[in-house]
Structure 1
Amino acid sequence: MMKRTVTDLRIQSGVLKTWPSGKIRMSGGKLLDIRCGIVARRSSVARVWLESRFRSQPPDRCVLHYHSPFLSRYLSLDLVLAGPQTHLSTIRGACAMLDEIARLRGAVAIFAHVSTTRISDRLLQRLGWQRHLQGESGRHWIKRFYNGYPDHDLQRYVTQE
């Protein structure tokens, strides 16, 4: 039976390569888990608005939903859930985990359509993202890995047991 939750990247990294989609859950700057998704969790502007207004997040929690579209060398960041009390270290940790999943899968880039102004352009740039499709409506961003992957100290985001 396939394990559908990863809590230790050192031991379980191989399984992340085969999942079509997933959910990265971080809290307090530490990885809670990465969960397998069979079907990508699509988002829309309406959904983002509803989630931000009516779904409460625990303090200092960040959840990233991602999937690999038909072009398997790419990842799509579909949805970011974070409350107003989420610390930057928690967001950075979630992004570091997404970068690691991209590395494990051999992805050349991650795409995102950012529809909320709560995520600033400055923060995205600090996290290594670049504007993409500037002629299109909306805020399209890309994180490219053509020159290699960022060197993250993933151990700092993993809870020691």
Structure 2
Amino acid sequence: MLRPFFHTITDLSADAELVRARRYGIIVVRKSQLEAIHFRPWPKMISRLEVMTIGRYVHQRSRGDYCWLYYNAPLTAPDFLSLVYVVSGKETTWRTFRTALATLDEVARLRNAAAIVTDVSNPQISERNLSRNGWEPHCAHLPGRNYIKRFYGDYPRLAAGTHRREVLAS
């Protein structure tokens, strides 16, 4: 079966096979609700220059409560996810950001990923906040602030009697 290069889903449970099959995606959350996951045929490539210039410019001028998380499942490390880039509006709430992160955790669970790795370039994101959300320092010998969230089969638990979509929307 031929799949389109770009594909969009709105229900993780119904489209779990597609989530497992596609390596590159954008999680889109608006007003604390999962809107969609858009799959891409290639990974998101990012540079520190882009983060420091275009990223900050867009964040300062964009309105709305939204968050986009770009993630990759690299060919060289298929058991890992990489949180590559986050785009948010100036009015983005903590709840919207947490919903996006919970969705990424669910993608990791569906893909049976061992961990999620990221390089945190925003100095406003504290080590304490990262630690509270399950992230720990990783690869101290590399430049930047590298973090990892390990699962190794122990994924965040859903509340009993709660559907995944409800958890992701909370």
Q: TM-score, normalised by structure 1?
A: 0.90
| Corresponding residue to 1:39 among 32, 39, 42 | 42
What secondary structure is seen at the aligned counterpart in 2 of 1:134?
coil
Alpha-carbon distance in structure 2 between the residues aligned to 1:59 and 1:124: 24
What's the Cα RMSD here?
A: 1.9
Cα distance, 1:30–1:38 mapped onto 2, change above 3 Å: same
Pairwise CA distance, 1:90: 0.7
| 8 Å Cα contact 2:99/2:169 also seen in 1 | no
| 8 Å Cα contact 2:113/2:152 also seen in 1 | no
> Which one-letter code corresponds to 1:57 in the other structure?
S
What secondary structure is seen at the aligned counterpart in 1 of 2:21?
coil
Q: TM-score, normalised by structure 2?
A: 0.85
Pairwise CA distance, 1:147: 5.2
1:93 aligns with 2:93: no
Cα distance, 1:51–1:117 mapped onto 2, change above 3 Å: same
Aligned to 1:137: 143
| 8 Å Cα contact 2:27/2:36 also seen in 1 | yes
Give the percent of matched residue pairs that are identical in Structure 1 and Structure 2.
Answer: 35
The 5-angstrom pairing of residues 68-79 of structure 1 reads 68-69=73-74, 70-79=76-85
Pairwise CA distance, 1:124: 1.5
1:111 aligns with 2:117: yes
Pairwise CA distance, 1:2: 3.1
Alpha-carbon distance in structure 1 between the residues aligned to 2:30 and 2:116: 23
Aligned length: 159
Alpha-carbon distance in structure 2 between the residues aligned to 1:157 and 1:37: 22
Alpha-carbon distance in structure 1 between the residues aligned to 2:134 and 2:85: 18
